[in-house]
Structure 1
Amino acid sequence: MARPIWTGTLSFGLLNVPIRLMTGERRSDIHFRMLDQRDNTPVRYERVNADTGEEVPWKDIVKAFEYQKGNYVVLEEEDIKSAASDAHETVEIDSFIDAGDIPPAYFEKPYILAPAKKAEKGYVLLRETLKKTGKIGIARVVIRTREYLAAVMPEGDALLLNILRYEAELVDPEEYGLPAKEAAAYRITPKEIQMASDLVKSMAGKWKPGDYRDDFRDKLRKAIEKRLKSKGITTTVNEEDERVPEHATTNVVDFMALLKKSIGAKKRTPAKKAAVKNAATKKTAAKKATAEKAPAKKTAAPKAAAKKSTTRKAPAKKRRA
């Protein structure tokens, strides 16, 4: 079961309902890595000092605001946290409005509010009241370090919390010089409007989200499976751990399944042959070390050297294959 982002309280008036804030979306994007086509080595993004050209470790990176071109003021983490409301882990409803009053452009990201144990009564009370009155709650909520405007609304058995955009974040359509005159000014006749209306009615139906799939992702996944089956695993690279950006999505689970499927269906790939070769070479080196009966400290260096030379030779054989 998914873990809650945080556990806290849903508050309106004097009523407080213990809740868990759960993610309401599941990202299924397929992400790619950039490789150097000469040897299929991943291309890394470096955090480089603009003056020295040297890489900057994460521990030395701070956040700053550029108040003038080339002039910055550095902010501490506490500065950012203090700007948010003190009401962490609380969804505090300020007012209730008609459900249809918010234009679609304001809705940004959904979350699911789930009741804590033994808090079902207050949860269901608010849910059913919102359904009966046709209202939704406008609230403020702090997620991680930022405060958001949000709408609390019923949907089926759930209470959803939808993050809202602020008015200042939206572009006024008037900026794009849209056609604002009556239809007749664009030589649209009443008959054309009637015919278009009839076409819409003939194509009308009910919203069934399950009827729609991400065709691009499905086709792309098939293309990846085909490549894996035809070429096998072309490269395996051990990389240093890198900080993953917050909210970053990954397709590790999907690709692990594809890799297992490919490996099971194919004979040994060049990568596997190299691994077997490495294992045999290590075994031979170990036997030589035992025969010589040299002290452990003296054999450590040659053993490491043998391991290094083996590792270098394996990729060369893989390129000739």
Structure 2
Amino acid sequence: MPRPLWSGSLSFGLLNIPVALMPGERNVDLHFRMLDSRNNAPIRYERINAETGEEVPWKDIVRAFEYKKGSYVVLEEGDIEAARPEGKEVVEIEAFVEAGALSPEYYERPYVLVPGKKAEKGYVLLREILERTGRIGIARVIIRTREYLCAVLPRKPALQLVLLRYPQELVDIGDYPIPDEAPSRYRISPREMEMAEKLIESMSTGWSPGDYRDEFRERLGKTIEKRLKSKGVVKPAALQPEEPAEGAATNVVDFMALLQKSLAENRRTPPAKKGAGTAATKKGSATTKKPAARKKPAKRGGGKATRKRS
């Protein structure tokens, strides 16, 4: 079981509910190391002074804001600490809104609120009242050193906390050339609308998350497993250029023909359920032989820092 990010309280009005903030997502990405192809030794990332080419120790690194190209204002630790809000271990709901009031682009990352000991009554009360009223709580939460806007919503049997994006983090759709006039303006006939509706109805099904898998990760896991067994490097086959689609030079599309063909074939988008993933996708399926110790290379001039301390 993962460790809580923090243990504190969830509050609204005078009600205070002890909770622990737990991760709500799992990272299943395959992580790779960069190696030198000449001897398969890992490549290190160093903090290099762009002018002297020398490595900079952590104690000599400061944070700065680049307000224009090549010009910086240096911030002291006290400046950053002063900007951090107080009350790290509390989620205080400021308002309740209709669940449908937030469009999907505002939601960013899920967490799970787990009730503390003897806090079940208040936890269940809030969960049930949110479910009955169709509302979600809007609050602020501090995770590590940053304050986030968040939503508290019921996801039986739990209360879920989802980080939200601020409006200034979203791109205005009006910045893009999006067609926003009536369908007739784009010569879409009522018959095409009807056929499209029938097609969607024929492809509609219940939402079953288990039907969808990260097929890319599974295929890559199988490749890694084969490489481990063969103890060799297999060069990927050269990609063949795709043939241009017939009629690609024209901008005229026969929507009626496409809709009729789709209805006739009755294609469905959800994939069929598959068996459990291969053992290659499990943690620890791929390993890299540890290289022999190497002497530290001589300092180079004119280098550039490859990573800043966060």
Same fold at TM > 0.5: yes
TM-score, structure 2 as length reference: 0.75
Which AA in structure 2 matches 1:14? Answer: L
TM-score, structure 1 as length reference: 0.73
Aligned to 1:58: 58
Contact kept? 2:112, 2:161, Cα under 8 Å: yes
Please tell me the root mean square deviation across aligned C-alpha atoms, in Å: 2.3
Aligned to 2:126: 126
Cα separation, 1, equivalents of 2:32 and 2:169? 30
| 1:176-215 superposed matches below 5 A | 176-215=176-215
Cα separation, 2, equivalents of 1:124 and 1:81? 36
Contact kept? 2:7, 2:21, Cα under 8 Å: yes
Higher alpha-carbon deviation: 64-73 or 100-109:
64-73
Which AA in structure 2 matches 1:11? Answer: S
Higher relative contact order (CA 8 A, sep 6+): 2
Which AA in structure 2 matches 1:198? Answer: K
Aligned to 1:236: none
Q: Percent identity?
A: 60
What is the Cα deviation at residue 257 of structure 1? 3.9
Q: How many residues align?
A: 247
1:79-129 deviation per Cα after TM superposition (whole angstroms, max 9, x unaligned): 223323212111010000000000000000011000011111111110001
Flag the structure with larger Rg.
1
Where do 5+ consecutive residues of structure 2 fail to align?
A: 234-280, 295-310
Cα separation, 1, equivalents of 2:92 and 2:215? 40
Aligned to 1:142: 142
* Cα distance change of structure 1 residues 152 and 255 upon mapping to structure 2, 3 Å threshold: closer
Aligned to 1:24: 24
1:50-98 deviation per Cα after TM superposition (whole angstroms, max 9, x unaligned): 1101111223222111123322222233322332321211101000000
Aligned to 1:226: 226
**Greater fraction of residues in helix:** 1
| Alignment of 1:100 onto 2:100 | yes
| 1:1-321 superposed matches below 5 A | 1-231=1-231, 254=282, 256-259=284-287
What is the Cα deviation at residue 258 of structure 1? 4.2
What is the Cα deviation at residue 254 of structure 1? 4.2
1:183-234 deviation per Cα after TM superposition (whole angstroms, max 9, x unaligned): 111111111111010000001111111110000000000000000000079x
Runs of 4+ in structure 1 over 3 Å off: 257-260
Cα separation, 1, equivalents of 2:207 and 2:201? 14
* Cα distance change of structure 1 residues 158 and 255 upon mapping to structure 2, 3 Å threshold: closer
Contact kept? 1:80, 1:145, Cα under 8 Å: no
* Cα distance change of structure 1 residues 160 and 145 upon mapping to structure 2, 3 Å threshold: same
Where do 5+ consecutive residues of structure 1 fail to align?
A: 234-252, 261-270, 276-306, 309-321
Contact kept? 1:81, 1:146, Cα under 8 Å: no
Cα separation, 2, equivalents of 1:25 and 1:10? 20
